[in-house]
Chains A and B, each alone.
Chain A
Amino acid sequence: MRELIQELVETYGPSGAEEQIRDRIRAQVEPLVDEIRVDALGSLIAHKGGGGQRVLLDAHMDEIGVMVTYIDEKGFARFTSIGGVSPLTCIGSRVAFEDGEIGVIGVEQKRDDADKVPKLEQLYIDVGATGRDDCPVRVGDPAVFVRPFTVRGSRLVAKAMDDRIGCAVLIETLRRLEETPHDLYVVFAVQEEVGLRGARTSAYRIEPDVAIAVDVTGTGDTPEAKPMAVKLGEGPAVKVQDRGMIAHPKVRRLLVERAEEAGIPYQLEVLERGTTDAAAMQLVRSGVPAGCLSVPCRYVHSPSEMVEESDVENSVRLLLEVLQRPL
């Protein structure tokens, strides 16, 4: 699975420009399902089975990034964020544009408040240009952070674990899933990082009986972390609630019961910041019982997001327990 994870995290795919990552995922998923299509906003929808209840599993394909807002006379590019990007993680970072063009992020030196965290407006991308005329990027071009995939012991580190690790979990689940009594839809959604947009419209079309998002969540196991019960290596986290949703108690119970029956480690998650596609799917049409299975992840929304390999494996095992039997 490491190879798959590496391929997914290193592929370009900021919100709104998911074509490359969608093609990679499609190549992996197409042989494993009965039907596959791309919906109006660009989400990839895979369908398997036919009978039983309509189960929707979702992971988002998009990643955070930046977008060029202006090229100045000397060829420096100003930018805004795509999704939640902290200026702290930007300085000194490299970004890659869709065509592979690379830029480095610098910060204005003359700032009145030089001892404070700078604003995004005080940063710029240097693509090596000497002026407007030889600047290879244009206003409106999106870029993603560059950081190679690396393994430290049982920990996997990369950009875009949020939420390519969810995509990897769903692909691996489909690989191992032989039969399912459900009418299974697996959605690789666009534009989660800018407002849960793809999942909402995909879920509208599918009209599921139950929906589960697979995404990353924060942890409380780092130095001076804010209190949070989730730790790396203690198993996938079953969402109780976050800022955008309260998980449907039946979905929560389903995940907990299947984990306990199969002896799969799990943790319960209450996230005080952030939310997932499940929050949008829950409110579609006349309402959908929705929940979320989270892969614990340190340094979320930095270019070095860290997950524990056993949590990834146990996420796949738990989803298989859910999918192989009636709900």
Chain B
Amino acid sequence: MTMILRELSNAFGVSGNEDDVRSILLEAVRDHVDEVKIDAMGNVLAVKRGSGEDRMRVMLAAHMDEVGLMIVGHDEDGFLKVRAVGGIDARLLPGSSFAVGPDRISGVIGVKPIHLLESGEADKVTKIEDLVMDVGAKGKDEAQKLVPLGTYATFDTRFQELGSTVTGKAFDDRAGCAVLVELLRGQPFSFDLHAAFTVQEEVGLRGAQVAAFGIDPDCAFALEGTIADEVPKEKDVSPTTELGKGPAITVMDRSFIADRRLVRLLIDTAEERGIPYQIKQPGKGGTDAGAIHLTREGVPSATVAVPSRYIHSPVALLRLDDFENTVRLMRDSLLRLTRDTLK
């Protein structure tokens, strides 16, 4: 199970440039589905036909893209100007290393030596617009040749196992992609399972919007890697989710309110099967379900996520038991899902 997560986490796939992730997923699911295609936006759409009489259409979505940087300019000395693609925290960038462009050349975000800081300077966060990336170019010409305008850059960290915990980049949402791959590799369900590995979630749920229009599902689940923030706090206040407490079920976030019948199905399944679960703190974040549920005449939707610390950073961290329980919860819930669930 960690093999596919490792491969996906290490792959290059900033929003709009998901080719590497797409290739891995096509290879991973091809033998386990009845149809697979790539749509106009670049989403991978796979169908696993159901075994039952009632061929309800159930969409499962996980997004392929990750946050990253784009090269937007070169200066005379060969430094690169960058902009965020998706939500990147500027605090993470100084001193971090990136893989740049299709050849994954190395780039670092420069930082002023601590010896030279003026008083007060260390307390401030440098804006992304004021940072530069250094690929070792000696001047503008060389920089432009090495890294043309519009080149993407991704965090240059590799997946690692720390016992039962793993760390790497892009668990948001390669963890969701890996869950979906596991579900596709299993036995068919009674309904037709429409898997969508979507593009451009991090810049506005764009791939999912057209994927859902094309699939026209009866209901949908978004599979995610979501915020775990049970880091030490001053007050007794809510963590968004916590590691080790099982898959996180969304009731409401900024993008949608989950369908109560599907949430009930998930909770009942978890409780009956003894699968740990948690309710994600309402009101935080948004997922592809936000776009999917508003498609055409409306799609009852829910989101289930693997809790992950430090998402949108180079060092996301998750627990494999949460990942495995997410697969179990989804598989067991889907085995019970019928048209009556939505009555």
Q: Are B296 and A70 in contact (CB under 8 A)?
A: no
**A290 CA to B118 CA in the complex, in Å?**
60
Q: Does B300 contact A (CB under 8 A)?
A: yes
Q: Does B123 contact A (CB under 8 A)?
A: no
Instruction: Please give the number of chain B residues whose Cβ is less than 8 angstroms from any Cβ of chain A in the complex.
Output: 23
Q: Does A88 contact B (CB under 8 A)?
A: no
B262 to chain A, nearest CB (A): 12
**A40 CA to B238 CA in the complex, in Å?**
32
Look across to chain B and name the residue whose beta carbon is closest to the beta carbon of A73. Answer: B236
Q: Are B279 and A201 in contact (CB under 8 A)?
A: no
Q: Are B260 and A69 in contact (CB under 8 A)?
A: no
CB contact under 8 A between A200 and B282, given known A16-B257, A72-B236: no
**A140 CA to B278 CA in the complex, in Å?**
11
Q: Does B237 contact A (CB under 8 A)?
A: yes
Q: Does B149 contact A (CB under 8 A)?
A: no
Q: Does A301 contact B (CB under 8 A)?
A: no
Q: Are A197 and B294 in contact (CB under 8 A)?
A: yes
Q: Does B272 contact A (CB under 8 A)?
A: no
**A135 CA to B297 CA in the complex, in Å?**
39
Q: Does B87 contact A (CB under 8 A)?
A: no
Q: Are B283 and A80 in contact (CB under 8 A)?
A: yes
Q: Are A70 and B297 in contact (CB under 8 A)?
A: no
Q: Are A40 and B282 in contact (CB under 8 A)?
A: no
Which of A41, A78, A80, A81 gathers most chain B CB within 10 Å?
A41
Q: Does A204 contact B (CB under 8 A)?
A: yes
Look across to chain B and name the residue whose beta carbon is closest to the beta carbon of A206. Answer: B297
CB contact under 8 A between A201 and B300, given known A69-B282, A70-B238, A194-B257: no
Q: Does A139 contact B (CB under 8 A)?
A: yes
Q: Does B298 contact A (CB under 8 A)?
A: yes
B217 to chain A, nearest CB (A): 10
The proximity string for A residues 187-211 relative to B, scoring 1 for CB distances below 8 Å and 0 otherwise, is: 0000100100110111011000000
Q: Are B260 and A16 in contact (CB under 8 A)?
A: yes
**A138 CA to B263 CA in the complex, in Å?**
14
Q: Are B296 and A67 in contact (CB under 8 A)?
A: no
Q: Chain A residues near B236 (CB, 8 Å)? A: 72-73
Instruction: Please give the number of chain A residues whose Cβ is less than 8 angstroms from any Cβ of chain B in the complex.
Output: 32
Q: Does B293 contact A (CB under 8 A)?
A: yes
Look across to chain B and name the residue whose beta carbon is closest to the beta carbon of A76. Answer: B236
Q: Are A139 and B282 in contact (CB under 8 A)?
A: yes
Which of B294, B297, B299 gathers most chain A CB within 10 Å?
B297
Q: Chain B residues near A201 (CB, 8 Å)? A: 294-298
Q: Does A68 contact B (CB under 8 A)?
A: yes
Q: Does A39 contact B (CB under 8 A)?
A: yes
- Tell me which residues from 195 to 236 in chain A have a Cβ below 8 Å from any Cβ of chain B: 197-198, 200-202, 204-205
Q: Are B298 and A67 in contact (CB under 8 A)?
A: no
Q: Are A78 and B252 in contact (CB under 8 A)?
A: no
Q: Are A140 and B237 in contact (CB under 8 A)?
A: no
Q: Chain A residues near B295 (CB, 8 Å)? A: 201
Q: Chain B residues near A140 (CB, 8 Å)? A: 251-252, 263, 279, 282
**A191 CA to B255 CA in the complex, in Å?**
12
Q: Does A90 contact B (CB under 8 A)?
A: no
Q: Does A82 contact B (CB under 8 A)?
A: yes
Q: Are A191 and B238 in contact (CB under 8 A)?
A: no
- Tell me which residues from 258 to 284 in chain B have a Cβ below 8 Å from any Cβ of chain A: 258-260, 263, 279, 281-283
A12 to chain B, nearest CB (A): 14
B291 to chain A, nearest CB (A): 11
The proximity string for A residues 15-51 relative to B, scoring 1 for CB distances below 8 Å and 0 otherwise, is: 1110100000000000000000001110100000000
Q: Are A68 and B298 in contact (CB under 8 A)?
A: no
Q: Which of B237, B251, B299 contacts A40 (CB 8 A)?
A: B299
Look across to chain B and name the residue whose beta carbon is closest to the beta carbon of A285. Answer: B296
**A200 CA to B297 CA in the complex, in Å?**
8
B260 to chain A, nearest CB (A): 7
CB contact under 8 A between A69 and B281, given known A16-B252, A40-B299, A140-B252: yes
**A80 CA to B282 CA in the complex, in Å?**
7
Q: Chain A residues near B259 (CB, 8 Å)? A: 41
Q: Which of A70, A72, A198 contacts B281 (CB 8 A)?
A: A70
Q: Which of A19, A40, A73, A82 contacts B298 (CB 8 A)?
A: A40
**A197 CA to B294 CA in the complex, in Å?**
7
Q: Are B298 and A39 in contact (CB under 8 A)?
A: yes
The proximity string for A residues 47-78 relative to B, scoring 1 for CB distances below 8 Å and 0 otherwise, is: 00000000000000000000111101100001
Q: Chain A residues near B258 (CB, 8 Å)? A: 16
CB contact under 8 A between A41 and B282, given known A70-B237, A201-B294: no
CB contact under 8 A between A67 and B294, given known A16-B252, A140-B251, A194-B257: no
Which of A17, A67, A73 gathers most chain B CB within 10 Å?
A67
5 residue pairs from A and B, CB less than 8 Å apart: A39-B298, A70-B238, A142-B252, A201-B296, A204-B298
Contacts A81-B283, A139-B281, A205-B298 aside, 6 further interface pairs with beta carbons under 8 A come to: A15-B257, A16-B260, A19-B260, A72-B236, A140-B251, A204-B296
What 9 A-B pairs have minimum CB-CB distances, sorted nearest first? A70-B238, A201-B298, A16-B257, A140-B251, A80-B283, A205-B297, A40-B298, A41-B298, A139-B279
